[in-house]
Amino acid sequence: MRLDKYISQTGTASRKECARAARAGLILVNGIAVRDVSAHIDENSAEVVFCGKTVLWRRYTYVMLHKPAGVVCTTEDTPRSVMRLLPPEFARRGMFPCGRLDADTVGLLLITNDGPLAHALLSPRHHVEKVYTYICDPPITHRQLSQLEAGVDIDGYLTKPARVEAQSPDRGRIAVTEGKYHQIKRMFAAVGSKIVFLKREQFGPLVLDPSLAEGTWRYLTDAEIASLPYMQNLSE
Ligand code: URA
């Protein structure tokens, strides 16, 4: 694999930054400065140090996106696709949104090309918790809140227990362990209210980075990657 591809895929630096660092002799491969970023290295055995920091190579790439309203969770190359908010090479590398948020829902979306991880996070068997902040209209009573927590009937399906922390009758946080189509909107509809704003704050162990503006993204940190359920199984 090309040296700049190897480094950029880990999220350490862009290819441009690699070229600059290499010219300055700041990229070492097996202890030797490599000034040509097109040089090929063996990704399974090479020890790469970028500006004094050892680069850990990963087969897959993991990105946290703060999804804005108006974009669609699809890998299709359409003008409203969420993939248009990311560098085009991500789609070429087979990256996709892990699960779906509605077009009008904002918040944390994981973009990866790690199929087994996506399966682990999305499988209903794994009960991965998703936390949303919501605003509803009309406001809900304590009784309706308790109904949401206990489980409500959405088109013949009884939702699993949820946690709701209301800040006021029309807004709060709801945590669910399922991901049915339009789940939160249908749950509120089942108790006679309507979601007018929905933002995903947490997806399993991942928490939306408050410094990420809507429409922007960053690579997951090593600690965030290590916290993902499938990674924990791998390291057991
Ligand atoms: N539930 C919904 O209704 N919409 C979303 O986007 C996510 C969860």
pLDDT in tens, 72-92: 999 999 999 999 999 888 888
Do 197 and 172 meet the contact criterion of CB atoms below 8 Å apart? no
What pLDDT is attached to residue 79? 95
Q: Report how far residue 111's alpha carbon sits from residue 124's, in angstroms, rounded to the nearest whole number.
A: 19
Instruction: Express each pLDDT in 4-33 by its tens digit.
Output: 999 988 878 889 999 999 999 999 999 999
Please identify, by atom number, the ligand 1 atom nearest to the C-alpha of residue 185.
3
Please identify, by atom number, the ligand 1 atom nearest to the C-alpha of residue 104.
6
The pair phi, psi for residue 93, each rounded to 5°, is -85, 10
Question: Is residue 162 scored above 60 in pLDDT?
Answer: yes
What pLDDT is attached to residue 68? 98
Ligand 1 pocket mutation pick from 72, 106, 132 by most atoms within 8 angstroms of CB: 132
| pTM of the full structure | 0.86
99 burial level (CB within 10 Å; 0-12, 13-18, 19+):
middle
Q: Rounded to the nearest whole angstrom, what is the distance from the C-alpha of residue 187 to the centroid of ligand 1?
A: 10
What pLDDT is attached to residue 176? 98
For the segment 191-196, the average pLDDT, to the nearest whole number, is 98
Tokens of 89: 């090479």
The string over 107-145, giving b where at least 16 C-beta atoms fall within 10 Å of a residue's C-beta and e elsewhere, is bbbbbbbbeebbebbeeeeeebebbbbbbbeeebeeebb
Instruction: Express each pLDDT in 100-152 by its tens digit.
Output: 999 999 999 999 999 999 999 999 889 999 999 999 999 999 999 999 999 99
